[in-house]
Homo-oligomer: A and B are copies of this chain.
């Protein structure tokens, strides 16, 4: 099977133009028209939101509703995230890739019904608003786009059966797309962000754990050595591996090439 890299970049990278430029440069060297590397396979980039949506909401005096620390997506917030994620960020990443001779097409989950979702049901009486939980990835649509020798840049907006746009977590989208596409491709899923990988000591950037298998993960969790924010990412990673994904790598966005070559970051293995 052909190789497909599904790469998530975190919001902190999108907010940092220098880190973003370094990431885009490496992405383009790997997957662009003038790639110096043997054919790496195809690539799909899932981006998060960054701080721009929050900033814009503030400037427009749209109050962010939080319940139990979780953001509620009301109709005004949905409008903002659609503009910022599927418009500003998506098209700017596409433009940066084109500037680096890496052809790309930017889409949201609504385009071609790429990612169907349903509105999250009430949880403990809390209505999260226009938040979507993924039902189905349109694998043939994504495959057809990838066959056009273009990378895909995917904004974390999904759509339900009635044509309602929904806001969906980008980590979850990356995982769902990786699982679904693994029926057609040999999939590597990469979570790239500001940290060099999964750290044993969250205050020490050189304490990267080289690889984690399920037994080590259970042990580290028991010893409370895993930084809390990392647990959902690792749970996602193991779930992906159990559902057809070949490899999951977590690490620094600016070290994308090293991550792919497993020279840095944390590899999650079964």
Please report A residues at the B interface, Cβ cutoff 8 Å: 56, 59-60, 79, 82-88, 90-92, 94-100, 103-108, 110-113, 141, 144, 148, 150, 157, 159, 162-165
- Across the interface, A108 reaches (CB within 8 A) one of B85, B106, B110, B150, namely B106
Max chain B C-beta neighbours (<10 A), residue from A56, A79, A103, A111 = A111
Per DSSP, chain A at the interface is: helix
- Across the interface, A88 reaches (CB within 8 A) one of B87, B112, B113, namely B87
- Contact in complex: A164, B113 (CB < 8 Å): no
Chain B residue contacts of A159, Cβ below 8 A: 95, 98
Chain B residue contacts of A104, Cβ below 8 A: 111-112
Q: How far is the CB of A194 from chain B (nearest CB, A)?
A: 24
The oligomer's copy count stands at 2
Q: Residue on B with the closest CB to A106?
A: B111
Q: How far is the CA of A106 from the CA of B105 in the complex (A)?
A: 10
19 other A-B residue contacts (CB within 8 Å) besides A94-B111, A106-B110, A141-B148: A59-B59, A79-B88, A82-B88, A82-B92, A83-B84, A83-B87, A86-B90, A87-B87, A87-B88, A87-B91, A94-B110, A95-B163, A95-B164, A98-B110, A98-B113, A98-B159, A99-B162, A104-B112, A112-B150
